[in-house]
Amino acid sequence: MHDRRRSIGRAAVLTAAALALTAACGGSSKPSVNASASAGQTAKETVKVGILTDMTGPASSVNKTSLDGMKAGIRYASREGYDIKYVLGDTATNPTTALSVAQKFVTQDHVDAVLANSSLTFLASNYLTAHNVPVIGIAEDGPEWITAKNMFSVVGALHTDKVAATQGEFFKKEGVTSLGIVGYVGFPASTNVAKADAISAEAAGVKVGYLNATLPLGTTDVGPVVLAMKNAGIDGFVGTVTSDTAFAIITGLRQQGVNLKAALLATGYGGDLLAAGPGATAAAQNVFFVSSAEPVEMQTAATKQFVSDLAGTGMTGAPTFGMYNGYLTVGMLVEGLRGAGAKPTSASLIASLAKIHDFTGMGLYGTHKLDPNDRENIVNGVDNCIWVTQFRGSTFHPVDGATPICGATLAGKSVTS
């Protein structure tokens, strides 16, 4: 390619904490850019991409393993006939660095596309859009995935102000009668989804016993919240917060003798939890976790191939949120390349991506298909579906009736109505 003219299961929830931490971050690291080439079979077309991700800084806890997922995706691309070469750009979870990395991709590295798994993509999006650069990744950071027609998200262009029935139906299924919900103050990605979860629950006939979207960022000082939830008689919990905050609340509720029929977390599935240590795994017992695609415990053909591709890059153990996102990102790139012509350009790649309406996530979406060009209706990822596992002992277990559980977008409902 020579023409350089140019993303619970909701990713906005999954990385609301990373976005919030970004806003609070004041680091000044310089870009970390490394060159690498694909491994595997001989490819018939070489494509150069820039990988925009958070390898260091606060948001790295969510996104740094996306690089491992992309390396696995490169193996998939090689089998499909594409040789993907990449330049790594670390945002360092720093606004200035994020933009400078994007500028370097265009002016020095001359990449054909950007693969973005970062809480700071929104800070680089205007520049990349102005230079007609295709951007593929995950809509975890802001609304630019809805408005910028050069940007394509593997979970769709998510509307955090709209409401899907999904979460409410899950809590109804688990027998929850009174739900406690928390979110962070000052960060719309967290606040809005907390409010949307409340509307979803009420639509399913589940009482919202407690709603507090005014918690300070990252707090673990949750004693008053725990007591208020206990007094409200809640028997279910969901939080659009970091795992630290959520586990502090769950632990506190248990210590107060509250019997939780279901606690659902949008972060932590897979390797993210297992790498967090014994304290986290103890707090996570019997907690439900969301994934935006088939969990590997389902042992489908697609998950087995995903695990195999990870193993081929030296990665073993449970995949992380970031690995899933990185793998799916390369998968969507390949889908776009198929329709971009024998000698793809940035313009032809955007044109091809704009015609995709049935992305299968290399089978990781099961029978469901994503329309990355639906910029009006998606709330919860592909078909508003979430895949739910429950952590027991030291392993995750798929939940019957929730792999996936899906829900319609609720007409006439929004967090502002």
Q: Which of the pair, 49 or 143, is modelled with greater confidence?
A: 49
CA atoms within 13 A on the CB side of 358: 1
Interval 69-94: pLDDT, tens: 999 999 999 999 999 999 999 999 99
What would the mean pLDDT of 328-335 be, rounded to a whole number?
Answer: 98
Interval 15-65: pLDDT, tens: 544 444 444 444 444 444 444 444 444 446 899 999 999 999 988 888 999
Residue-level pLDDT at 7: 33
* DSSP category for residue 132: T
d(CA 333, CA 215): 38
Q: Which of the pair, 187 or 127, is modelled with greater confidence?
A: 127
CA atoms within 13 A on the CB side of 138: 36
The model scores a pTM over 0.85: yes
Q: Which two tokens stand for residue 112?
A: 């054909």
* DSSP category for residue 370: B
Residue-level pLDDT at 200: 97
Please name each of the domains of the chain with its CATH number.
11-158+301-363 (3.40.50.2300), 162-296+383-414 (3.40.50.2300)
Interval 144-185: pLDDT, tens: 999 999 999 999 998 888 999 999 999 999 999 999 999 998
Cα 38–39–42 angle (5° rounding)? 95
CB distance 186 to 217 below 8 Å: yes
**Helix (H) / strand (E) containing 101:** helix 95-104
Largest CA distance in the chain: 65
Residue-level pLDDT at 417: 52
Average pLDDT over the chain, rounded to an integer: 89
Q: Is 312 exposed, middle or buried (0-12, 13-18, 19+ CB in 10 A)?
A: middle
Q: How far lies 296's CA from each of 65, 307, 317, 323, in Å? A: 16, 8, 11, 12
CB distance 64 to 119 below 8 Å: no
The length of the chain is 417
Q: How far lies 141's CA from each of 53, 178, 187, in Å? A: 12, 30, 11
Instruction: Report residue 142's pLDDT band, with 50, 70 and 90 as the boundaries.
Output: confident
Q: Is 131 exposed, middle or buried (0-12, 13-18, 19+ CB in 10 A)?
A: middle
Interval 276-309: pLDDT, tens: 899 999 999 999 999 999 999 999 999 999 999 9
